[in-house]
Amino acid sequence: MQHVASTPSGKDAPIVRLERVTRRFQQQIAVENFSLEIAQPGEIVGLLGPNGAGKTTVLRLLLGMLTPTSGSVALFGVPMTSAVRRGEALRRVGALIEAPTFYPYLSGRDNLRVVSLLAGLPEDRETEQRISQLLERLALPVEGPVAFKQYSLGMKQRLGIAAALLTEPELLVLDEPTNGLDPIGIVHLRELLRSLAQQGTTILLSSHLLHEVQQLCTRVVLLKRGQVLIQGEVSRLLQTQGVIEVVYETPEALDAAEALLQRTAQEQPAWIRQVRRAGSAASVSSAEARVADPCVLQIQAPITSSTEICALLARHALYPAEIRRRSISLEQFFLDQASEPAPTLSQAQRAL
Ligand X SMILES: Nc1ncnc2c1ncn2[C@@H]1O[C@H](COP(=O)(O)OP(=O)(O)OP(=O)(O)O)[C@@H](O)[C@H]1O
Contacting positions for ligand X (CB under 6 A): 25, 28, 30, 49, 51-57
What is the nearest approach in angstroms of ligand X to the Cβ of residue 51?
4
- Residue number with CB closer to ligand X (66 or 134): 66
- Residue number with CB closer to ligand X (226 or 279): 226
What is the nearest approach in angstroms of ligand X to the Cβ of residue 47?
8
Interatomic CA distance for residues 181 and 172, integer angstroms: 18
What is the nearest approach in angstroms of ligand X to the Cβ of residue 141?
29
Longest dimension (CA), the chain: 81
What is the nearest approach in angstroms of ligand X to the Cβ of residue 60?
8
What is the nearest approach in angstroms of ligand X to the Cβ of residue 212?
15
- Residue number with CB closer to ligand X (52 or 79): 52
Q: Hey, CA dihedral for 122, 124, 126, 130, is it positive or negative?
A: positive
What is the nearest approach in angstroms of ligand X to the Cβ of residue 25?
3
Interatomic CA distance for residues 247 and 251, integer angstroms: 10
What DSSP assignment string belongs to 263-330? HHHHH-TTT--EEEESS-GGG--SHHHHHHS-EEEEEES-GGGHHHHHHHHHHTT---SEEEEE---H
Asked if 242 and 326 touch (Cβ cutoff 8 Å), the reply is: yes
Q: SS3 of 36, please?
A: strand
Q: SS3 of 96, please?
A: strand
What is the nearest approach in angstroms of ligand X to the Cβ of residue 55?
4
- Residue number with CB closer to ligand X (184 or 335): 335
What is the nearest approach in angstroms of ligand X to the Cβ of residue 351?
22
Asked if 119 and 167 touch (Cβ cutoff 8 Å), the reply is: yes
What is the nearest approach in angstroms of ligand X to the Cβ of residue 81?
19
- Residue number with CB closer to ligand X (49 or 242): 49
What is the nearest approach in angstroms of ligand X to the Cβ of residue 34?
11
List strands edge to edge, sheet with 322-326.
274-277, 295-300, 243-248, 322-326
- Residue number with CB closer to ligand X (175 or 245): 175
47 φ/ψ angles, rounded to the nearest 5 degrees: -100, 125
- Residue number with CB closer to ligand X (228 or 281): 228
- Residue number with CB closer to ligand X (22 or 332): 22
Counting Cα atoms < 13 Å in the Cβ hemisphere of 223 gives 28
- Residue number with CB closer to ligand X (50 or 269): 50
Q: Which amino acid is at 252?
A: E
- 274-288 b/e (C-beta count within 10 Å ≥ 16 → b): ebeeebebeebeeee
Interatomic CA distance for residues 292 and 314, integer angstroms: 25
Asked if 181 and 154 touch (Cβ cutoff 8 Å), the reply is: yes
- Residue number with CB closer to ligand X (68 or 108): 68
Q: Pairing relation of β-strands 243-248 and 295-300?
A: antiparallel
